Structure 1
């Protein structure tokens, strides 16, 4: 799911791209599939291409402001993508409401091999999508970055520009609300099952 790269390499590529802009393409090649998948899950395929491209365009334009001490660009890119997703909040909530009714996720369906796994995922998907639709944006961002993208608390804090304590409190609040909607199932586990079937 996550691209495994040396964070120092990420920082070096960003620094070198300041003088050699074509180097930034390496970061696109490395992280675009993960960002695209994340955005597609949140907004659907019809917006994922545009938002992914915009994420990298924003990052490219802001590369001179990237602090190499941050290391990996992964949280930075997820933060940009999450902010762009926020601009499409109505589409995201509508996506979850449709998913809650139909239990069909176009991102996940392609990855399921058996009918049994699709049926099991659909049962969880409806409840999970309904719960996600009702979470506040900040809580939803934290939950999905941790559950879907396997970012650490520190990476989520960097991505969203919030203190790590806020990450913990938002995740705790999101888990409680989603767990209630899921009949006691931990939403981070449900998100993983929903994602991987």
Structure 2
């Protein structure tokens, strides 16, 4: 069966051994998830973050999807809504911390949003692991804990014996470095 004819359930099942299957699932749904997040939160940076968190959760929990309980699209929609609710709960505290640290919000351009699509075209988890491994250890640990393992800033701070603000700064710096590595050479913004 041609790849484009595979169902979402097939793609999620195949993702365990075929990273491109998850890439196809991602490309099939990322635009509407990003649009949903942008409409619900009204903040491009937050919409991009919530979209990334949504797909990271889908990838990590793909074995929990049960096609007998509904479509993959509905499952993805519910995960996105849950991530939006989480973002709204933590958003006020994060904005206050960013303001205290003097860290301005990252303004995403249309090109940045297109970069989100390009993440799915990476060859697989090995590329993501290599990108993370290239970060300084303090940033790598913070990014992995926050983005990959979806842990809260307070929890990470307690583990690393840092303040939540310091963890936020490490995550921000790490994500900025990753974003820079994903840009084409000479593609300054």
TM-score (ref. length: structure 2): 0.42
TM-score (ref. length: structure 1): 0.40
